[in-house]
Amino acid sequence: MDFLSILSIFVLAVFVGYYVVWSVTPALHTPLMAVTNAISSVIIVGALIAAAAGAITEGGGVSQWLGLLGVVLASINIFGGFAVTRRMLAMYKKKDKKPAASK
Amino acid sequence: MEHAVAATPAWAVLAYLAAGVLFILALRGLSSPESSQAGNRNGMIGMAIAVGTTLALHPTGLPLIIGAIAIGGGIGWVIAQRIQMTAMPELVAGFHSLVGMAAVLVGCAAYLNPVSFGITDAAGAILAVSRVEMGLGVAIGAITFSGSIIAFLKLSGRMSGSPILLPGRHILNLGVLAGILVLTGIFAVDAAAAAGQGPLLWIILGLSFLIGVTLIIPIGGADMPVVISMLNSYSGWAAAAMGFTLQNTAMIITGALVGSSGAILSYIMCRAMNRSFISVIAGGFGAESGGGPAAGAAIQKSYKAGSADDAAFIMQNAETVIIVPGYGMAVSQAQHALREMGDLLRKEGVSVKYAIHPVAGRMPGHMNVLLAEANVPYDDVFELEDINSEFGQCDVAFVIGANDVTNPLAKTDKTSPIYGMPILDVEKAKTVLFVKRSMGGVGYAGVDNPVFYGDNTMMLLADAKKMVENIVKGLNGGGH
């Protein structure tokens, strides 16, 4: 892919992000931060490439270990981010059907 | 394996695209609590696809990689289970720092082993455009890392939350920022850098770590909602920059989503404080505490103090109570006792609602999560603009651990540092019950709050949790 098509994807994705995020209810802004945190760990893709390619490239030892460290850090974030988001979202409950007699 | 990325097969390109779309759906799900859990699952599936695809494309060195995922995943999972909801702001800041560091590591690895990333030309030199992306990605990643570490230290109380003002900090920061940009430019045209040699990237890296620290230390504790959102945004842009380097659509889409998400949250937080993003980032807000004329006059004014039993009696005999929580509720962990109080009042036939100011707490949505943790149904919790008109008709406004967000000076006093900030109109309620630790401290902005001295205000001076627990006792004992 050339630079311009990538740039196009990027610009369109910024607009998608803009409209999607404005539609997020303010009550869920903390889970929003947690989940964006988790998905931004997609940076793990780069770390995986470094770790995998470093293993077979001559002189790739340093970049392999940098990649592996990146994989560890990003994995903390992926598992931690999604799990904590799930934990938070599970707490948001609607009012019980039988009303607690609010007036 | 040469030019591995450039030769990405079509199925893999589509898989990364699918991952990107699933991430969009993950955020889309957060438009309501009902769809949010499905959204989160979409995010996990997207991540699994992205990781699986990458491993399928690069099936070497697997044992170490799987070990690394297991270690990181295990740590992350345990943290997520153990963390207290009140500690969510520092957790998010900590997680941001990891994304930043991962971006730095990926950028450095790509610089050291460019062939594997498919970013070299026929002669083996690193492409100039890739060097720009790499320089920016490493710089943003490093700023995200060190900035988030400072935010983490401040939020977790390991470092004072008050602003630390270096002399000439604006010049210093602008100078360092200019240095980073200029060096990135040189990095793109330098012949040694193209061959993967020379110190330029490491200097950029060092300067970026430095500016991350100097940018965040002058920013005070209550401005942290903006800082966390901003660092959230940076972590996205770092991922996007790396996505450009790797020509990976999943990374680019995610980076753009996260980048705009953080930027929008920063904007919402700034708007809720009526301050410009620049003034928040410049820092130092609230550092000159007690400087305002109102603060000096505070000591002489008289106020009415009440007991927990008084508060219980007043609320029992009210028809409507609106509870206004703030950061103080989080600090004293009063949310569970508060919900119990609300339940008891409901049993007495009192209508109980919760009103949340956008900047209450230390991160966007902080209060909502704590109330949800305490089993307060989310349809009892209202945002500022949805509930503000109801204070005029309500019998009791119960303010717990909030201060600046209820200060009517924001509407009237043009000299006040919080002038123009939208506030919750608690002073319009028939009675204001104001839970506060003591009369000594003024809010974060260093401004006294006239509500304390209002004729219709009763101050409940105690630790928030103890006070609410005593009110609960009063409601139980003093029932009809």
Q: Do A87 and B268 touch (CB under 8 A)?
A: no
> Residue A41 and residue A38: Cα distance in Å, rounded?
5
Chain B, nearest residue to A17 by Cα: B257
Joined together, the tokens standing for residue B124 give: 């083996």
Phi–psi pair at B120, nearest 5 degrees? -110, 155
Chain B, nearest residue to A16 by Cα: B257
Q: Which residues of B440-470 are buried (b: 16+ CB within 10 A; e: fewer)?
A: eebbbbbbbbbbbebeebbbbbbbbbebbbb
Angle between helices A29-40 and B249-272 (to 10 degrees): 150
Q: Count CB neighbours of B43 within 10 A.
A: 28
Active site residue B404: yes
Burial class from Cβ neighbours inside 10 Å (0-12, 13-18, 19+) for residue B100 reads buried
Q: Which residues of A24-56 are buried (b: 16+ CB within 10 A; e: fewer)?
A: bbbbbbbbbbbbbbbbbbbbbbbbbbbbbbbbe
Residue-wise pLDDT tens digits, A43-83 = 999 999 999 988 787 777 888 999 999 999 999 999 999 99
Joined together, the tokens standing for residue A74 give: 């990003």
Of B266, B130, B101, whose CA–CA distance to B194 is shortest? B130
> Residue B249 and residue A86: Cα distance in Å, rounded?
26
Q: Do B76 and A44 touch (CB under 8 A)?
A: no
Q: Do B68 and A82 touch (CB under 8 A)?
A: no
Q: Give B-chain residues touching A97 at CB under 8 angstroms.
A: none
Mutation site for A-interface testing, chosen from B3, B28, B30, B380 by largest number of A Cβ within 10 Å: B30
Size of interface A-B (CB pairs under 8 A): 413
Q: Give A-chain residues touching B75 at CB under 8 angstroms.
A: 72, 75-76, 79-80
Place of tokens 């609960």: B472
Place of tokens 């240095």: B179
Nearest CB neighbour to A87, from listed B80, B352, B380: B80
Q: What is the pLDDT of residue B289?
A: 42
A101 CA: distance to closest CA in chain B (Å): 6
Of A97, A67, A14, A4, whose CA–CA distance to B103 is shortest? A67
Of B120, B248, B111, whose CA–CA distance to A44 is shortest? B248
Q: Do A89 and B36 touch (CB under 8 A)?
A: yes
Q: Give A-chain residues touching B245 at CB under 8 angstroms.
A: 46
Mutation site for B-interface testing, chosen from A6, A7, A33, A84 by largest number of B Cβ within 10 Å: A33
Q: Give B-chain residues touching A91 at CB under 8 angstroms.
A: 85, 369, 372-373, 375
- Which pLDDT tens digits describe chain B residue by residue (480 residues)? 344 445 678 999 999 999 999 999 999 999 999 999 999 999 999 999 999 999 999 998 899 999 999 999 999 999 999 999 889 999 999 999 999 999 999 999 999 888 888 888 888 888 888 899 999 999 999 999 999 999 999 988 888 877 888 888 888 889 999 999 999 999 988 888 888 888 899 999 999 999 999 999 988 877 888 899 999 999 999 999 999 988 889 999 999 999 999 999 999 989 888 888 888 877 766 554 434 444 444 455 788 888 999 999 999 999 999 999 998 899 889 999 999 999 999 999 999 999 999 988 888 899 999 999 999 999 999 999 999 999 999 999 999 988 888 989 888 888 887 888 899 999 999 999 999 888 866 666 667 888 989 889 999 998 999 999 999 999 987 544
Nearest CB neighbour to B369, from listed A24, A78, A88: A88
Q: Which residues of B12-39 are buried (b: 16+ CB within 10 A; e: fewer)?
A: bbebbebbbbbbbbbbbbbbebeebbeb
Of B14, B112, B259, whose CA–CA distance to A1 is shortest? B14
Q: Give B-chain residues touching A27 at CB under 8 angstroms.
A: 33, 356, 365, 368, 378, 381, 383
The DSSP result for B63-107, as a single string, is: HHHHHHHHHHHHHHHHHHHH--GGGHHHHHHHHHHHHHHHHHHHH
Q: Do B40 and A82 touch (CB under 8 A)?
A: yes
Q: What is the pLDDT of residue A55?
A: 79
Q: Give A-chain residues touching B243 at CB under 8 angstroms.
A: 6, 10
Q: Do A13 and B116 touch (CB under 8 A)?
A: no
Q: Do B96 and A37 touch (CB under 8 A)?
A: yes
Helical (H) or strand (E) element with B177: helix B169-189
Determine the number of helices (DSSP H) and then strands (DSSP E) in chain B.
Answer: 19, 6
Q: What is the pLDDT of residue B3?
A: 43
Active-site annotation holder among B223, B404, B425, B448 = B404
In sign, the C-alpha dihedral spanning A36, A42, B243, B203 is: positive
> Residue B381 and residue B474: Cα distance in Å, rounded?
24
Q: Give A-chain residues touching B383 at CB under 8 angstroms.
A: 26-27
Mutation site for A-interface testing, chosen from B22, B24, B36 by largest number of A Cβ within 10 Å: B36
Amino acid at B421: M
Q: Are the C-beta atoms of residues B285 and B436 closer than 8 Å to each other? A: no
Give the Å distances, CA to CA, from A46 to A69, B62, B80, B126: 12, 15, 24, 17
Joined together, the tokens standing for residue B52 give: 């699986």
Nearest CB neighbour to B30, from listed A16, A31, A54: A31
Nearest CB neighbour to B77, from listed A55, A80, A94: A80
Q: Do B372 and A39 touch (CB under 8 A)?
A: no
Phi–psi pair at B433, nearest 5 degrees? -105, 120
A4 interfaces chain B, CB cutoff of 8 Å:
no
Q: Do B72 and A103 touch (CB under 8 A)?
A: no
Q: What is the pLDDT of residue B300?
A: 58
Amino acid at B13: V
A50 CA: distance to closest CA in chain B (Å): 6
> Residue B457 and residue B302: Cα distance in Å, rounded?
11
Q: What is the pLDDT of residue B284?
A: 67
> Residue A64 and residue A55: Cα distance in Å, rounded?
6
A8 interfaces chain B, CB cutoff of 8 Å:
no
pLDDT band for position A14 (cuts 50, 70, 90): very high
Q: Do B109 and A63 touch (CB under 8 A)?
A: yes
Q: Do B109 and A44 touch (CB under 8 A)?
A: no
Structure ipTM: 0.91
Q: Do B43 and A51 touch (CB under 8 A)?
A: no
Nearest CB neighbour to B103, from listed A21, A31, A43: A43
Q: Do A29 and B32 touch (CB under 8 A)?
A: no
Sheet with B431-436: list strands edge to edge: B381-383, B351-356, B320-325, B396-400, B431-436, B457-461
Q: Count CB neighbours of B77 within 10 A.
A: 18
Q: What is the pLDDT of residue B446?
A: 67
